[in-house]
Amino acid sequence: MNWNKNLLWNYIGYGISLAINILLLPVVLKFLNNEELGLWYVFMSVGTFVAMVDFGFSPQIARFVTYAYAGADSLKKKGIVSATQIGMNIELLQKLLVVSRRLYFFLSLFVFILLITIGTYYVCSINKMLSLWQVLCSWIFFCIASFVNILYGYYNAFFRGIGDFVSINKAILLSKCVQIFCSFIGLYLGYGLFAVAFSFFLSGIFLRIYLGIALRRFGKENSFPEKKDSFDVGVLSIIWHNSWREGVVMISRYLIIQSNTILCSLYINLIETASYALAVQILTIISSVSLIYFTTNLPKLGTARVTDNVEYKNKLLSKTWFIYIVSYILMLLLLFVVGIPIIEYIKPNVMLENSLLLFVALYMFLEANQSLFVSYISTSNKLPYVFPYLISAASGVVIAIILLEYTDLGIWGIVFAHFVVQLCYNNWKWPYYVFKESKMNMVSIFK
């Protein structure tokens, strides 16, 4: 795999995706009223929550695909089997694909039933001013889109596992272009919330079609057997061993970041919810772009684990962490100098006040930073951070609810609750864990 090409395409993919999001954002802000905007962000938060029905299968499958692609003979529930053959283990990759395909079918079916029942009740209950027919039509297409996205979610896990970020980012580019084109046309014609929901549906369809074609091409190029393997319960058992732990971490991350939008909609109002969710959306983009170099090199870090190349692994980790820090700070400055004035020009008073925005930015910087180190730890197929994540996330939500019930802190209270809880343990524990395990220190990191 050409890693320079992968890195280039990762930056191109994220760059163009970011540019399209920047183009889409003012269109959405202009054509959706505050209630529609707030409800759309609620849609996205609910969608993020439901996507957690994946329950850690995606990162675990991607990790095992990396091992098989590096030549591992078999899989273990805990730890790594060293590679003893040159080149990929095609038989093991095929087994992983068969298990993934069956697994994600049942997951997607469960998601659709959950959304169309409980999800519909929740969305209708918080809608106060919009047409019920408009909300229901928009929600139904959002449910179908979520079903399709999870049904073929293993595509993304497979390509991340083999380090093929070229195919992933080409697919993302195609889907984003479809989304912005259809959103613009639909919003211009006056379809409001329905337009953005239907565009989201179409973007997911195009993304999965492209990755499906790429997966079939990969199979032909690498002589995958025509006969499909039977479902291997043993492989599923090995995947499940750490997947449920990854799932706990996913739920915890949702509670830490995305649940705040739900709390805003329940305790404050849709207008302030829109302001908070917009800030989180922008800062999430900044975090994601800052982590591109690390994300692209994560399969290489996993391969270094399998081949036991300690010196290379430590050097690469140091470099990726340094690039993350510098990138986040530079893009945050760009947001305050250029981004906020543009957004305020398009839709005045939609952004959070600068002091609160800066506080949220610091909180999300620390969260993304610990996620970097946690992702690195996971390449060892050991997950010591599971229960600390869950306890911290649950504690943050409980404290946030208490502050919302008994104080007038509003959004400040929600963010402050999670900030303090995470700072007490997770923010410092996992970077320290990696430094200690790798026998590195701050001086060696920045050499």
The pLDDT of residue 281: 81
pLDDT at 362: 94
**Cα separation of 279 and 357, whole Å?**
7
Q: 317-343 pLDDT, tens per residue? A: 888 999 999 999 999 999 999 888 888
Q: What share of the chain is helix, strand, coil (3-state, %, to 5)?
A: 80, 0, 15
DSSP conformation letters of 411-427: HHHHHHHHHHHHHHTHH
11-49 burial string, b = 16+ CB within 10 Å, else e?
A: bebbeebbebbeebbebbbebbebbbbbbbbbbbbbbbb
**429 and 373 Cβ atoms separated by less than 8 Å:** no
Residue 240 has pLDDT above 60, yes or no: yes
pLDDT in tens, 140-185: 998 998 888 888 888 888 888 887 878 888 888 888 888 888 988 9
- For residues 290 and 224, the model is more confident at 290
What are the DSSP E strand ranges found in 220-352? none
| 10-14, 365-369, 376-380, 420-424: least confident range | 10-14
- Which residues are CB-contacts of 101 (< 8 A; sequence separation ≥ 6)? 154
Q: What is the pLDDT of residues 32-53, one digit of tens each?
A: 877 787 788 778 777 777 777 7
- The set of residues, in sequence order, having a beta carbon less than 8 Å from that of 1 and lying 6+ positions away, is 162, 163, 164
Alpha carbon distance 273, 288 (integer Å): 22
Instruction: Report yes or no: 414 and 404 within 8 Å, Cβ to Cβ.
Output: yes
Which among 101, 95, 92, 100 is positioned nearest to 60, based on CA atoms?
100
pLDDT classification of 425: cutoffs 50, 70, 90 = very high
Cα angle: 3, vertex 7, 13; to 5 degrees: 135
Q: How confident is the model over 103-124, as a mean pLDDT?
A: 88
* Range 194-202 average pLDDT: 90
Q: Can you tell me whether residue 435 is helix, strand or coil?
A: helix
**Least confident segment among 122-126, 223-227, 321-325, 437-441:** 223-227
Residue-level pLDDT at 447: 59
Checking if the pLDDT of 408 tops 90, the result is no
Q: Residue 55 pLDDT > 80, yes or no?
A: no
**Torsion angles phi and psi, residue 291, rounded to 5:** -95, 5
